[in-house]
Structure 1
């Protein structure tokens, strides 16, 4: 049984402990999640707009996109982006330039792209359902007022879509935070990779894995409370069906 003094020493800040490394790893984890979130939301909104479009081509593309993204394991998507896309970009550079140009696909960028794509595939379906639940008469009213399609979306539809989709998007955000742990396999010094390094160095897997478990749990609890507040605020003035 590990002593309390040893636990405090392992988790302390400074040269003898791993507290500062874990804190830096948590910072990278949160930065990764917050950077991937807008990427996923923008792509998801675009794909959702395609899925409700009158164009058969756009609908087919949206169906193909969401089927592929949701059908692939997140870890496989990460490997495809990090290894495959990086190799493809360098091959294209070799074709179009005689100089020895090299594009380095950083683990952070690969993580943002991969997690953003995964988030977009699921958020597109959430946003599509919210979009289709809006009364079409509001769109027709906007058209009758000579509003452009972009204005109708931004001023009339967007606020209602976000209110309806917020619970589903909130669940996807919590999943996104937990999925950041996958990026540790491509050498990004996030919270999970720092924990693995600490375990290898100290041979105390139970202590560090339990610590990182509590950190992830605490972060998710904080964001769940924030999302609960946002949901209450967004539903002000709406009568509950219960």
Structure 2
């Protein structure tokens, strides 16, 4: 068996199982973070459309901060900063309690708030495409605000927002590699371990490249299908 196949195998001396576990953790992290980021982003968009000036300004400040910070710095602030703050708080009110933030949770929160900041812009752009008459028609039918949003507005928002949401998923997928710096054994960290141990840097980094490319290609097809499905029944322009 060629040496590179042996190194990528799942048997003794191979790193296939480690790379598979790393890729699985990368996908898990992205799949857990994505709904949180998109959902929180939707709430931020609603807040920016609120009649309350305080609510609007709070949402704008949140998105401004986390769009301006590097994702890596946000990750460090959540994993180290929040952990230190919580330990100081509990040391004052409940001495002896040790607080540890799991790396996975820190990754979800840090990447999620950054994703939410950008998602809010996608949702806000989608809101501008819904005619005001849709709200007026729903009110004329006696629909309460929550049903108007769920049954009338949101399906239209989702159709328009899907391309942007798909792009945010791909960005998030790549950003998951950042959590390797807080010792979470995702794909990039396992690739680095394999490359460092075997000194076969090109082999393992090109393998990681192919894995990311495969996931991105499949993701692109999934979102393309969702876009086609959401556009069913719409008259296509010639």
Same-fold call, TM > 0.5? yes
1:1-242 correspondence runs (5 A):
5-98=2-95, 100-241=96-237
* Mapped contact 1:52–1:132 kept (Cα < 8 A): no
Structure 1 runs, 4 residues or longer, greater than 6 Å off: none
Report the aligned-residue RMSD. 1.2
The structural deviation recorded for 1:45 is 0.8
> Normalization by structure 2: what TM-score?
0.96
> Normalization by structure 1: what TM-score?
0.95
Q: Which runs of 5+ in 1 are unaligned?
A: none
Relative distance call for 1:56 and 1:14 in structure 2 (3 A) is: same
1:171-222: CA deviation from partner (whole Å, max 9, x where unpaired)? 0001111110010010000000000101110011111001000110111001
Give me the whole-angstrom Cα distance separating, in 2, the residues matched to 1:137 and 1:96.
Answer: 54
The structural deviation recorded for 1:33 is 0.1
The structural deviation recorded for 1:14 is 2.1
* Mapped contact 1:86–1:104 kept (Cα < 8 A): yes
**What SS is found at the alignment partner of 1:134?**
coil
1:101-147: CA deviation from partner (whole Å, max 9, x where unpaired)? 11211111110101111110000000011012211111122223332
